[in-house]
Structure 1
Amino acid sequence: MNLKISLWILIGLQFVISDLNAQGLTREEMRDTMQRIPSFTIHKDNYFITGVPTNNPINSSTANAKYQISFKQIITRSILPWETYLYLTYSQKAFWDIYKDSYPFREINFNPTIGVGKAFYGSDDRVNGMATLVFEHESNGRDSIYSRSWNRLSLQYSTLVGKKTMLHVKGWLPFGYKEGNPNLLDYVGLGEVSVSHDFIPDELILEVKVRKGLNFDTRGSIQTRLSYRPFKHNSNQYIMFEWFAGHAENLIDYEQYSSMVRIGYVIKSNEFGFLKAKK
């Protein structure tokens, strides 16, 4: 699947589900919302979790911690054509061997992006989805035989497929990856699908993300997260349980299958919360 095919799939998806979000924000309400959103916000979830493997012996070399820092800066809001807006994001994901002596970092992956976003509307002129077109770079910042990096032009469409369920479909056109990790696409494929469901809105959330490698085999990954907000007051702070099974959780060992369960603290992103707003 290339980027052009992904674009047609996402456009088709928009029309198929346009009536599911019929009570979403109107065009004017969406414009007002985009003007009020802070310029600097969380992008992906920010978290610190720790855990153990399920497919290897548990010891100080196999147990670890993983954390992520991610933010977004909106550059323009209303000056670009077609009601698009320009933004930057930066995400940093680290794998930390905190149970070893001297607490070394095994791997740090850096993911800066620049992209444009555009809201899509149904026949009743109410928002039913958000599309983003993004240039992404991802690397581990190392050299020699340990260098891993790739670039991609990514297209994503996000929408509600039910009152409590959100769908993200993302495809990418990769380039600049054959030096250091020439078979990377065999493990990460050309896209991913993510689904999140609010069992209890803003309190108990299940998220599943799936990737499939290019070949007809089992290479790929599935990431499942269950987040629970234990606090009585409104907050974006949760306790998160994660199970990752598959390949390419990090870049240095992308060919190695891993199955890790982790638990910890997460500050959840509400980047697409406006899709859930009803009027």
Structure 2
Amino acid sequence: MQIYKNLLLKNQTQSFIDDKKHEKIVVSNIQSRKNPEDKEDFSKLALANYLDEDTGFNPLGITAYKMNYFLPFAYSFGSLGNDNRKMEMKFQLSIKKRLFENLFGLNEKYYIGYTQTSWWQNYKHSSPFRETNYQPEFFVDFPLENHSFFNNLRLGILHESNGKGDENLESRSWNRIYASTAIFYERFLFVPRIWYRIPEKRKDDDNPDIRHYLGNFDLNLGYLGKDYFANIMLRNNLNLRRNKGAIQVDIGYDIFNNGIYWYLQYFNGYGESLIDYNRKLQRLSTGFLISY
């Protein structure tokens, strides 16, 4: 019996020592995170997220995809129609999940992604959601390891709709096949994307002229600083006679050194949302963006 007591006492003592060591490690980690010199570099975070190279503990394997933001002040300089207020709230949730990889020996990775963007008339009495766009998609990333600038080739199929019925003629949807790549040079990022709209039967098409307003491509050009970023998105139908397009400018700064960025978004053109795809809007929005 005395042997068992000695073993128990030894285990308890060792456990106490291990707990103290663990406390020191945790405190050290917390202190190191508070050090401004050890701030997470946004350019490294963005690249790791785009290439899905996050090595942190993530049992579900769900990671950020496009930008995740919350903009409580989104002001439109023009009318939104239907007695909607010019000031509203806009927010976006975007995630992805890797399914499997390397089926053809090319180190390719297969994903499903989901992005939801909502425009909420929260300053109106009944606070209705003016519009919500849903974007489920499936895509494959092929690494381009032999190129110094090109990081990958992405091929995907994307559905986008606003989930509305035909009662008020507000149903919008379309399906696209797209290809894109990411070009990183130092802190500069260039992401061109082209797409092909999958044809629909004319009687079932909610927006047959959407290509005229949204074209067949978009370009993103960004600069990723250590604690800030700036990005410009360009889109155009390349029709000189009936030209339609859009520009969006995004600026963010990590104020609190915790991955939550003050975020400013400016949009001018067609297609900010599906319900407004054929209406030209100019909007200025501000709020917060979550980087990790």
* TM-score, scaled to structure 2: 0.73
Q: What runs of 5+ residues in structure 2 fail to find an aligned partner?
A: 1-43, 45-51
Query: How many angstroms apart in 2 are the aligned matches of 1:175 and 1:255?
Result: 19
State the partner residue of 1:196.
222
Q: What is the CA-CA distance between 1:56 and the residue it aligns to?
A: 5.3
Provide the residue aligned with 2:171 in structure 1. 147
1:109–1:251 CA contact under 8 A, matched in 2: yes
Which residue of structure 1 aligns with residue 152 of structure 2? Answer: 130
CA contact (8 A) 1:109 1:141 kept: yes
1:259 to 282, 286, 289: 282
The count of corresponding residues between Structure 1 and Structure 2 is 231
**Distance across 1 between alignment mates of 2:270 and 2:122:** 22
Letter in 1 for 2:98: I
**Secondary structure of 1:186's match?**
helix
Aligned with 2:206 (options 176, 180, 184): 180
8 A contact 1:120–1:127 mirrored in 2: no
For the structure 1 residues 85 and 35, does the alpha-carbon distance in structure 2 shift closer, same or farther, using more than 3 Å as the test?
Answer: farther
Question: Unpaired runs of 5+ in structure 1?
Answer: 1-23, 25-32, 270-279
Whichever of the two has the greater Rg, that structure is: 2
Q: Which residue of 2 aligns with 1:11?
A: none
Letter of the structure 1 residue corresponding to residue 96 of structure 2: K
Give, in whole Å, the separation in 2 of the partners of 1:107 and 1:133: 28
Deviation digits for residues 88-135 of structure 1 (CA, Å, limit 9, x no counterpart): 000000011111111110011000001110110236xx6741111001
Change (3 A) 1:149 1:60: closer
Residue pair 2:229, 2:251 contacting (<8 A) in 1 also: yes
Tell me, yes or no, if structure 1 residue 170 matches structure 2 residue 196: no
Which position in structure 1 is the counterpart of 2:70? 48
Q: Quick check: 1:98 aligned with 2:107?
A: no
CA contact (8 A) 1:34 1:77 kept: no
Tell me how large the CA RMSD over aligned residues is.
2.4
Offset of 1:81 from its aligned partner?
3.1
Return closer, same or farther for 1:163/1:35 CA change in 2, 3 Å cut-off.
Answer: closer
In structure 2, what residue type is equivalent to 1:172? W
Counterpart Cα distance in 1 of 2:246 and 2:156: 22
Q: Which has the higher contact order (CA 8 A, sep 6+)?
A: 1
- The corresponding residue for 1:229 is 254
1:215 maps to what in 2?
239
- The TM-score normalised by the length of structure 1 is 0.76
The residue type paired with residue 251 of structure 2 is L
CA 1:34/1:204 → structure 2, altered by over 3 Å: closer, same or farther?
A: closer
CA 1:55–1:146: 2 relative to 1, 3 Å: closer
CA-to-aligned-CA distance 1:200-241 (integer Å, 9 cap, x gap): 32x111011111025224411101010010023xx3311100
**Conservation of the 8 A alpha-carbon contact between 2:150 and 2:181:** no
